[in-house]
Amino acid sequence: MAGWIGKFLTVLSGSPQSAGDEASEPQTFAGITDPVDLAFVRKFTQSSGLFLYCGSVDEVVENLKAVGAETGQSQFFVPEKSLHAWFAQAGLQVIYDNPLEADAMATTCHAAVAQTGGIMITDAQTQGLKFAQLPAIHLVVARVSQVVNSLSDGMSAINKFHREQRPLSIITLKGKRDEAVLQAKVDPNKGRELYFFLVEDHLFTDL
């Protein structure tokens, strides 16, 4: 991606700007110190996922504004009401009842998996939309505590959250240059622009 967010994230992750560029040495991620967090961010950005760390509400709002400007989107399908206040502060229009009215969406997640760089969400977070129906621009907001080591840890997080009723489907979002995505003949992640906001847990109490 050519805009300033893409350039910033390229510098941050130490990954090449394009397939033909020479990669630089990986650098430390601002605000991230846990080895599991670092492992996820490196894996995620290597697959062309776009990562932003948010240590304050102001940073969440400013980064949302930047994503809106970068993608040219002012309307986001946001099924979860817990995120609406941040989007309103960023001056972005929220659509929550008709996903067809927006070319971009935002959700929370259940887990971000360090070993794979994948982000696990369920149909409960997408209003029942199937994977292939999701907009090509997807912004995921996650708590720092939701970064886990393995897929089994992610499944445990989903099982714990959905004790009463199991979700009908589990979706794993990945960057469009993830090796498994590239090798698959058909994969809904192909061509997906995926942003990941890693937010300090306590900020969610301010919503």
pLDDT at 23 over 50: no
pLDDT (mean) for 76-89: 95
pLDDT tens per residue across span 36-54: 899 999 999 999 999 999 9
CATH number at residue 134: 3.40.50.10420
Quote the pLDDT of residue 96.
86
- Establish if 193 belongs to a structural domain: yes
pLDDT at 95 over 70: yes
- Establish if 26 belongs to a structural domain: no
Quote the pLDDT of residue 159.
82
Q: What is the pTM of this model?
A: 0.83
- Establish if 25 belongs to a structural domain: no
Distance, CA of 49 to CA of 164 (rounded, Å): 33
- Establish if 7 belongs to a structural domain: no
Quote the pLDDT of residue 127.
85
Percent of the chain with pLDDT over 70: 81
Number of domains present in the structure of the chain: 1
Residue 71 one-letter amino acid: T
CA–centroid distance for 35 within its chain: 19
Quote the pLDDT of residue 32.
61
Residue 79's Cβ-count burial label (10 Å; 0-12, 13-18, 19+) is: buried
Distances (CA, A) of 166 to 20, 78, 87, 119: 44, 22, 29, 18
Q: In which domain, by residue range, is 76 found?
A: 34-200
